[in-house]
Amino acid sequence: MTYLNKPGANLFQLAIQLRDVPGALGDLTILLGKSGINILGGIVCPPKSDTPGDTPFRMLEVFVESSDRELSTSSIERLIESCPYTYEVKVRRSRDGLIVDSMSFPLRLDQGQRAILIRKDVISASMREVRQVFSTGGDVMLYKQGYAAGKSDAEELIRIFGEESILEKLEELVNLYSSLGWGRARITSVDFEALSAKIKVDQSFECMSQSSTKPYSQFLRGHLAGLTSGVLSIEMKCEEIACAAVGNPACEFLLQIS
């Protein structure tokens, strides 16, 4: 949630370092509820251990609304500090019912990597412009960008999970595409001896609402090729054998040794 606009409402953004123990979040929400404060949306970040004494905590970042139009920033800070699990709290109040998230920067993924958010229609328009300006050269550019991104992601996955265990986790790791909003990906077949696989992607961000006479997933095709090349330490090629942009129900890719 990037912002809330509710004219006349008393809104707040809360950034709370909450000790990572069972029941902490429940106690805090009960405390807020009893005070007429409703949680409207937000996130709970993974545990961290950089507090004094190496005590793990979670960062809770939420937008809330108070039924008390006169409730102040200092009052809500004192309320949250009264929770025994609170380590630190920061509070911002809305202006005329509008509040924009200014506390979550920089955005980070689970392993601490910095991330950015871009609307799907914005990135789609950018890719479409590349194709229109550079024609087939634009397709090559998008493929190369995807391939480089896939190679980089492979390095990160190897760092996190270890090279030997990645293949055992493939069926779960492919869900990273949906967790990042790229599309619902699933492995439909795999042959480890021949090093080939088929992957289907429903609702691909690259092909949704697009119309084409030829396969359209240049970036995603490149990403799959770069990712598998990096994970397997061998050059892989990726062919899009079905594409939603040309009328197929979903995009489907065939990965093979190059």
Torsion angle, alpha carbons of 198, 203, 208, 212, to 10: 20
Q: pLDDT tens digit string along 54-106?
A: 668 888 999 999 999 889 999 999 999 999 999 999 999 999 899 999 988 88
Which residues belong to CATH 3.30.70.260 in the chain? 3-100
Beta bridge mates, 177: none
> At the topology level of CATH, where does 3-100 sit?
Alpha-Beta Plaits (3.30.70)
- Return d(Cα 136, Cα 253) in angstroms, integer: 20
- Choosing among 3.30.1380.20, 1.25.40.10, 3.10.129.10, 3.50.50.60, the CATH entry for 120-257 is 3.30.1380.20
- In the structure, what pLDDT confidence band is assigned to residue 232 with cuts at 50, 70 and 90? very high
pLDDT tier, 110 (very low <50, low <70, confident <90, very high otherwise): confident
Q: Which part of the chain is CATH 3.30.1380.20? A: 120-257
For the four alpha carbons of 142, 183, 60 and 118, in that order, the dihedral sign comes to positive
What pLDDT is attached to residue 164?
82
229 pLDDT exceeds 90?
A: yes
Q: What is the value of pTM for the model shown?
A: 0.84
Close Cβ partners of 37 (under 8 Å, ≥ 6 residues apart): 12, 64, 65, 66, 67, 71, 76, 79
